[in-house]
Amino acid sequence: MHNGWLDLTGTELTEPPEVEPDELIRLDLDRNRLTRLPERLSAASGLEHLSIYDNEFDTLPGWLWELHGLRVLNLADNRFTTVPPDIGGLIRLHTLDLGHNALTSLPDELGELPELTEYLYLADNRLTELPDSLCALTRLRYLGATDNAFTELPAGLGRMQALRELRLQHNSLATLPESIGELGALRELHLRGNRISRLPAAVAGLTDLRLLDLRDNGLTELPKALLELPSLDKLDLRWNKHLRLPPWLDDLEERGCVVLR
């Protein structure tokens, strides 16, 4: 351990390692074959960063949710099917990675994490909906939820007004909520590989949007509101075989926006 950081990444562990909890601030156990956490970790009251990426966990001990100092938690690429409501106890958490598991639902308590502001990653699970409660994360900057099975987004999405990047590729979205136009700080919107046939006129509110990826959807038309987005510098429309390209796309390109058709 060096300066409170114990890194046991890729050491082929199959059993929980010995840890000294008193001075532990960061613990990395990535890319092993673990199914259990060290029991002594329950006394690591100063632990701020825990990563168990790419192991064989399918459950976690109840005491984990009582480590109230945790700020970063990476549970990606394991075998989790649920997240317990007790996650709401991690009141200082600002970064949470739940990607590449087998989650079918999320607890409402995720939306009650007051410091979850940096990063929430939900990609490659079996989720069919985002709970409305997530919309309470009004200071969250990054939400990644690609490769799930969403058919719609919560109507209250527009409450998440701090979002800078929203990744929703490879779902089954057919529409976007009107409230998406309230995401005035959004810079990147990734929608590739959905079933969207039209965009709401409310996208005119995305005044800071730089990148809009609409590849491989079912688009038939585009709202002229896209022409009015002052910061847009890349618009990707490829693989929308029924899309009627409007003449004003030329104006968008003349302004300096890269349009891929």
Q: What is the CATH number of the domain that holds 219?
A: 3.80.10.10
pLDDT of residue 20: 93
Structure token pair of residue 251: 């104006």
Asked if 227 contacts 254 with a C-beta cutoff of 8 angstroms, the reply is no
Place of tokens 């394991």: 78
Asked if 137 contacts 115 with a C-beta cutoff of 8 angstroms, the reply is no
Angle at 173 between CA 259 and CA 176, to 5 degrees: 70
| Tally of domains within the chain | 1
**Nearest-angstrom CA–CA distance, 181 and 188:** 13
pLDDT of residue 112: 97
Query: Which tens digits make up the pLDDT trace of 130-163?
Result: 999 999 999 999 999 999 999 999 999 999 999 9
For the beta sheet containing 211-213, the strands, ordered from the edge strand earlier in sequence to the opposite edge, are 5-7, 26-28, 49-51, 72-74, 95-97, 119-121, 142-144, 165-167, 188-190, 211-213, 234-236, 258-260
pTM of the model: 0.97
Asked if 253 contacts 232 with a C-beta cutoff of 8 angstroms, the reply is no
**Nearest-angstrom CA–CA distance, 247 and 21:** 64
pLDDT of residue 2: 85
Asked if 65 contacts 90 with a C-beta cutoff of 8 angstroms, the reply is yes
Q: Which residues pair with 144 in a beta bridge?
A: 121, 167
- Residue 2, number of CB atoms within 10 A of its CB: 7
pLDDT of residue 250: 98
Asked if 73 contacts 90 with a C-beta cutoff of 8 angstroms, the reply is yes
Angle at 158 between CA 131 and CA 133, to 5 degrees: 20
pLDDT of residue 53: 98
Q: What is the pLDDT along the chain (261 residues), one digit of tens a residue?
A: 789 999 999 999 999 999 999 999 999 999 999 999 999 999 999 999 999 999 999 999 999 999 999 999 999 999 999 999 999 999 999 999 999 999 999 999 999 999 999 999 999 999 999 999 999 999 999 999 999 999 999 999 999 999 999 999 999 999 999 999 999 999 999 999 999 999 999 999 999 999 999 999 999 999 999 999 999 999 999 999 999 999 999 999 999 999 999
pLDDT of residue 135: 98
Q: Is the dihedral of CA 217, 218, 224, 225 positive or negative?
A: negative
pLDDT of residue 1: 79
Q: Which domain holds residue 78?
A: 5-260
Structure token pair of residue 235: 């618009």
